[in-house]
A and B are shown apart, each in its own frame.
With several copies, the nearest count.
Chain A
């Protein structure tokens, strides 16, 4: 008997309307107060290929991917065999029993729950397309009975979903009832796995990271968004535009206080962002790996010409087109050192939708303050799946930090304006927006070497001086990016992670605790790394670094920027394109302890 604790997987065909039905399922559980996490595993294709939708319900609030499946709703003939195979022993298989199951597909260690879905719908709906769509709703109805979901919550979901298209509400509810009725009549309900209303979700919300990031840009004061469609980042720009149209329109005129341009490609998108940022507007683009590659020449320009461009990189599995609908954390090196020559870029690593919002907004302050590109490094797993998140909040009265910008009055007071003078010793000069003053403060921006007064030069000394100042600015950046989040109980070993590798961490740590492995933790939020990161590493004998790429890219950054001995960092890697699970982390760490013959007891450091 298990309450509020299971993984259910829906195996469907994409383009068949299943995603919205499955989302309703997840959201209904959420509305019953359960912590739920969803993961949509979809193909790079529009219609007709296999897709899976995992919903994890966890009484303890674990939101990471789990390797095992307790309930399989197997609706795709093409993957039926593998779907049945991946069900955990003791699990429940829900299938369409209109045709009998082939003998070789049957398993004795699971419970098979057949429903003649096709038959049920055949009698109810004439239209073949409708039958397809309502099939998903029908199994949802059955699940409500099987899992003991409050029915009015589900019907409420339908009402929310089809608000404005009211004609659809009744047939959907009818379909729900067909499923529920069949289950109540013919199946033993509820199953030993079921749900029960709790208050665990609290005031939390369910939202995807991209929507939150789009809202972050909106609240952060972005006025120019230039983008080019690419999975999994498209919905960032779409969310920005959607909410800006609602919340950022001039009162009387109805005119827009923002501009969204779907550019012809990523080169153009970043160029627009840089042009707008140079001209004093907060601007951003959203893209994924291939876009970062294409933007790299421009990113070098922005670094050297000192332009506050903001980029949201929603990472997907590379290299090249790779697996565009799978998740990874694999663009760290290409983003951190994007462009030829000696370049370095500021990165932020959100772990939750709320951080997508907050860091998303903060990017603009940082970019303006540091006069350099800032890249938000999120990924498909966080960006495109609905996750449980604390509600988004904004402190009214918070001002934007526009950085060192001289107004006409400021310029009047300045003897001789020098764009690249390091007046304050923090490596950051003062800039002016075009058109500020009739006589003072105009300068020529270029990607070529110049002196402190922005005059072109090829002098080795002037060049080197400028490059050293940029390193000073880098140092300043390390103090401004969000600090790492640390928990410490004085263990000998630590574990370090970032972004979505944090999601399975509470569960992984609990699993490890059970094995008497105790670790202090550090979650990286920004690059360049603050002192606290290096101190944490120094304070531990060795530190695990968890990441979702093959080449241990965060480790590379840590070692390279901090002059660390790489031997002290032990990589825990997963790069299969699904999100890393607690099981994977636990297994690799456990293995390491065994191999290194390390003791597993808490050892408080002397």
Chain B
């Protein structure tokens, strides 16, 4: 018989966070993805980030499209509501969810097919709308769930499992997000939790649109030699440009970077991002520069990772729309209905 059980490990004495919860309270049911799929590591990083931030696990809205990646919201944060919607349309559903309740932490998970092909228009426009959310793409360069076709992020020349080369230029989501004006842009690798977790934390706390493109290998269809999204390839070609550490408001800052190459970014909630720049010239507040940097390195075959751009003072959609502080979904008839007297005035205008 084939037994495929991924048992839940029991930790008798799990550490608790500030709100008294353990990592377990942020987990979800056992994943049904392939053993070794990068996406599961991304889910694990989200669990860790949320637990470390001590956010209430039911105060999230998890939205996704369709694909293996889009299934993952069912595998983390089981105390919060999730919505596995339709292919490529996570951005619009997340927009609605965020408009309805600005108090929830909104996490959108998508795939490269979901975001860069069918969902490209929605992706570009949610960036413009500045929705306050964490938008993660589990980027494996392939359509996992439909069994391995090239996606639009697949690099030109990268080969399929059968050895056929991809003939099309890739779409680089990080460049796109930078260029369209996202206020928080990062790239990471599912295999590098140390880099990924602080980025997720920072994006969650960031007020505005936080985008993380996570290279997340597909072991079933795009992890062979010849693929530029395999574990091996990314380990060899990823070029971290900034090391980010996240410190909550009250937390003591415990890193000590060489002067000149480091910077502290203060977030509106008082938390701090400590940045160590591995390339001195890199400026994390200049998006034209960041875009240029990413594109130039890309042309040299390097995959730039880390925090690429952040505007800690960015405004979000609710500020632009000037909506009330209370979540719209909490307002009832007394808040919403102008009543008959007002209607009579309206009628008068029609006479």
Inter-chain contact B92/A76, CB cutoff 8 Å:
no
For chain A residues 264-279, which have a beta carbon within 8 Å of chain B? 264-279
Q: How far is A298 from B118 in the complex, measured between Cα atoms in Å?
A: 14
Q: How far is the CB of A287 from chain B (nearest CB, A)?
A: 12
Inter-chain contact B59/A444, CB cutoff 8 Å:
no
What are the residues of chain A within 8 A of B329 when measuring CB–CB?
223, 276, 279-281, 433
Inter-chain contact B58/A439, CB cutoff 8 Å:
yes
Q: CB within 8 A of A434: which of B73, B101, B328, B332?
A: B101
Q: Are A263 and B351 CB-contacts (below 8 A) given A279-B104, A280-B100, A433-B329?
A: no
Inter-chain contact A321/B97, CB cutoff 8 Å:
no
What are the residues of chain A within 8 A of B149 when measuring CB–CB?
229, 234, 262
For chain B residues 60-91, which have a beta carbon within 8 Å of chain A? 60-61, 63, 66, 68, 73-74, 78-89, 91
| Number of chain A interface residues as a range | 35 or more
Can you sample 20 A-B contacts with CB below 8 Å? A47-B220, A206-B351, A215-B343, A219-B338, A223-B336, A224-B328, A229-B146, A262-B149, A264-B122, A273-B96, A275-B83, A275-B97, A279-B101, A280-B101, A281-B100, A400-B332, A400-B337, A433-B101, A434-B97, A445-B83
Inter-chain contact A268/B4, CB cutoff 8 Å:
no
Inter-chain contact A205/B350, CB cutoff 8 Å:
yes
Inter-chain contact A15/B81, CB cutoff 8 Å:
no
Stretch touching chain A among B7-15, B200-208, B238-246, B319-327: B319-327
1/0 per residue, CB under 8 A from A, across B96-125: the answer is 111111011000000001000110111011
**Residue picked from A223, A389, A395, most chain B C-beta under 10 Å:** A223
Tell me whether A230 is interfacial, beta carbon within 8 Å.
Answer: yes
Number of A-B contacts (CB under 8 A): 303
Inter-chain contact B103/A435, CB cutoff 8 Å:
yes
Q: CB within 8 A of B81: which of A228, A272, A444?
A: A444
Inter-chain contact A438/B86, CB cutoff 8 Å:
no
For chain A residues 97-142, which have a beta carbon within 8 Å of chain B? 117-118, 132, 135
Q: How far is the CB of B229 from chain A (nearest CB, A)?
A: 16
Q: Are A247 and B342 CB-contacts (below 8 A) given A264-B152, A275-B63, A301-B86?
A: yes
Tell me whether B129 is interfacial, beta carbon within 8 Å.
Answer: yes
Tell me whether B210 is interfacial, beta carbon within 8 Å.
Answer: no
Inter-chain contact A283/B100, CB cutoff 8 Å:
yes
Stretch touching chain B among A178-186, A251-259, A327-335, A476-484: A251-259
Q: CB within 8 A of B34: which of A31, A48, A75, A271?
A: A48
Inter-chain contact B328/A281, CB cutoff 8 Å:
yes
Inter-chain contact A267/B56, CB cutoff 8 Å:
no
Residue in B closest to A276 when the chains form the complex, CB atoms? B96
Residue in B closest to A227 when the chains form the complex, CB atoms? B149
1/0 per residue, CB under 8 A from B, across A210-253: the answer is 00000100110101101011110010000000010001101001
What are the residues of chain A within 8 A of B113 when measuring CB–CB?
229
Q: How far is A257 from B94 in the complex, measured between Cα atoms in Å?
A: 19
Q: Are A274 and B93 CB-contacts (below 8 A) given A47-B35, A264-B121, A321-B86?
A: yes
**Residue picked from A258, A264, A436, most chain B C-beta under 10 Å:** A264
Residue in A closest to B88 when the chains form the complex, CB atoms? A265
Residue in A closest to B94 when the chains form the complex, CB atoms? A275
What are the residues of chain B within 8 A of A250 when measuring CB–CB?
324
Tell me whether B312 is interfacial, beta carbon within 8 Å.
Answer: no
Residue in B closest to A99 when the chains form the complex, CB atoms? B1
Inter-chain contact A48/B338, CB cutoff 8 Å:
no
Inter-chain contact A276/B97, CB cutoff 8 Å:
yes
What are the residues of chain B within 8 A of A297 when measuring CB–CB?
86
What are the residues of chain A within 8 A of B97 when measuring CB–CB?
275-276, 278-279, 434
Residue in B closest to A234 when the chains form the complex, CB atoms? B146
B-to-A contact residues, CB < 8 Å: 1-4, 32-35, 56-61, 63, 66, 68, 73-74, 78-89, 91-101, 103-104, 113, 117-118, 120-122, 124-125, 129, 143-147, 149-150, 152, 220, 317-318, 321-325, 328-329, 331-333, 335-340, 342-344, 346-347, 350-351
1/0 per residue, CB under 8 A from B, across A429-458: the answer is 000111111110011111110000000100
What are the residues of chain B within 8 A of A215 when measuring CB–CB?
343, 346
Q: How far is A74 from B122 in the complex, measured between Cα atoms in Å?
A: 46
Q: How far is A383 from B351 in the complex, measured between Cα atoms in Å?
A: 18
A-to-B contact residues, CB < 8 Å: 12-13, 15-16, 30-31, 44-49, 74-78, 80, 95-96, 117-118, 132, 135, 205-207, 215, 218-219, 221, 223-224, 226, 228-231, 234, 243, 247-248, 250, 253-281, 283, 290, 297-298, 301, 305, 320-321, 389, 391-396, 398-400, 432-439, 442-448, 456
Known: A15-B34, A268-B95, A276-B100. 16 other contacts (CB 8 A): A48-B33, A77-B2, A221-B332, A223-B328, A257-B323, A268-B125, A271-B93, A274-B93, A275-B94, A275-B97, A279-B104, A305-B85, A393-B343, A400-B336, A443-B81, A456-B74
Q: Are A231 and B146 CB-contacts (below 8 A) given A257-B336, A279-B329, A439-B58?
A: yes
Residue in B closest to A398 when the chains form the complex, CB atoms? B333
What are the residues of chain A within 8 A of B125 when measuring CB–CB?
263-264, 268
What are the residues of chain B within 8 A of A95 when measuring CB–CB?
1
Q: How far is the CB of B164 from chain A (nearest CB, A)?
A: 11
Inter-chain contact B58/A442, CB cutoff 8 Å:
yes
Q: How far is A395 from B340 in the complex, measured between Cα atoms in Å?
A: 7
**Residue picked from B1, B103, B104, B145, most chain A C-beta under 10 Å:** B1
Q: CB within 8 A of A264: which of B33, B86, B117, B336?
A: B117
Inter-chain contact B32/A48, CB cutoff 8 Å:
yes
Inter-chain contact B336/A435, CB cutoff 8 Å:
no
Inter-chain contact A48/B4, CB cutoff 8 Å:
yes
Q: How far is the CB of A81 from chain B (nearest CB, A)?
A: 12
**Residue picked from A215, A272, A320, A393, most chain B C-beta under 10 Å:** A272
Inter-chain contact A77/B1, CB cutoff 8 Å:
yes
Inter-chain contact A268/B331, CB cutoff 8 Å:
no
What are the residues of chain B within 8 A of A44 when measuring CB–CB?
145
What are the residues of chain B within 8 A of A12 when measuring CB–CB?
2
Q: How far is the CB of B140 from chain A (nearest CB, A)?
A: 12
Q: How far is A192 from B12 in the complex, measured between Cα atoms in Å?
A: 55
Q: CB within 8 A of A281: which of B82, B88, B101, B143?
A: B101
Inter-chain contact B95/A272, CB cutoff 8 Å:
yes
What are the residues of chain B within 8 A of A205 when measuring CB–CB?
347, 350-351
Inter-chain contact B338/A255, CB cutoff 8 Å:
no
Q: Are A277 and B333 CB-contacts (below 8 A) given A13-B2, A247-B342?
A: no
Q: Are A47 and B34 CB-contacts (below 8 A) given A255-B325, A268-B92, A272-B95?
A: yes
Inter-chain contact B333/A259, CB cutoff 8 Å:
no
Q: How far is the CB of A284 from chain B (nearest CB, A)?
A: 11
Q: How far is A251 from B317 in the complex, measured between Cα atoms in Å?
A: 21
Residue in B closest to A439 when the chains form the complex, CB atoms? B79
What are the residues of chain A within 8 A of B1 when measuring CB–CB?
74-77, 80, 95-96, 117-118
Inter-chain contact B96/A278, CB cutoff 8 Å:
yes
Q: Are A78 and B81 CB-contacts (below 8 A) given A248-B336, A257-B323?
A: no
What are the residues of chain B within 8 A of A270 when measuring CB–CB?
92
Inter-chain contact A224/B100, CB cutoff 8 Å:
yes
Which 8 A-B pairs give the minimum distances between C-beta atoms? A275-B96, A271-B92, A281-B100, A276-B96, A280-B329, A434-B81, A205-B350, A265-B118
Q: How far is the CB of A20 from chain B (nearest CB, A)?
A: 14
Q: How far is the CB of B316 from chain A (nearest CB, A)?
A: 12
Inter-chain contact A272/B99, CB cutoff 8 Å:
yes
Inter-chain contact B92/A275, CB cutoff 8 Å:
yes
What are the residues of chain B within 8 A of A432 when measuring CB–CB?
81
Q: How far is the CB of A517 from chain B (nearest CB, A)?
A: 36
Q: CB within 8 A of A278: which of B34, B73, B83?
A: B83
Q: How far is A435 from B101 in the complex, measured between Cα atoms in Å?
A: 9
Q: How far is A435 from B57 in the complex, measured between Cα atoms in Å?
A: 9
Q: Are A281 and B99 CB-contacts (below 8 A) given A96-B1, A257-B331?
A: yes
Q: How far is A12 from B3 in the complex, measured between Cα atoms in Å?
A: 10
Residue in A closest to B340 when the chains form the complex, CB atoms? A394
What are the residues of chain B within 8 A of A230 when measuring CB–CB?
146
Q: Are A274 and B85 CB-contacts (below 8 A) given A223-B329, A256-B324, A265-B117?
A: yes
Q: How far is A15 from B61 in the complex, measured between Cα atoms in Å?
A: 32
